[in-house]
Amino acid sequence: MTAGNGTRTASHTVLATRLGELTVVQAGGALTGVYFPRHWPRPDRAAFGERADGGFAAAARQIGEYLAGDRTAFALPLEARGAEFDRQVWELIAQVPYGQTASYGDLARRLGGGADPRDVGGAVSRNPMCILIPCHRVLGSTGKLTGYAGGLRRKRALLDMEQGKIPLWCPPRSHEGRMQDVCRA
């Protein structure tokens, strides 16, 4: 993951999954965002660039493998844009192993320097790379599910999938790209 803040031309595609559509954004050969519908906080859609479905094969394949339960880590170039504190938190989130969880307090302690779990929560909420930087693995101090950009239903589904290998990916049924009924969000 790099800390770039460049202004290269972005493009995006939309992938259909059982979790709903995922908008994947890239610029300069690196992924800069993965967003759910009604993502919160809402990303600046102007930063998505034009829709250009070509050039996303590796991301689509790896996300598909992950949601099918066949991949536990990603090997994609990422450029997570944000403040230094946010990027530090995202680096820690990326270290939480597949199928495991951490709390906001755990991450704050790992950051040191008196970091506040609420500030960590703010950084988690600004993660531009849902799934790729697995913020769904971050829970409240009691193990309770707390906010997630894609909603708590998706957060629970991702955790369940990682712990029980419940596949969440459905490939297109036909060349028109229509999805099977079970893939509807």
Active centre residues (catalytic): 135
H helix or E strand, kind and range, residue 91: helix 84-94
Classify residue 49 as left (phi > 0), alpha (psi -120 to 50) or beta. Answer: left
Q: How many CA atoms lie within 13 A of 135 on its CB side?
A: 24
Cβ(100)–Cβ(24) below 8 Å? no
Q: How many CA atoms lie within 13 A of 134 on its CB side?
A: 24
Strands (E), 69-132: 102-103
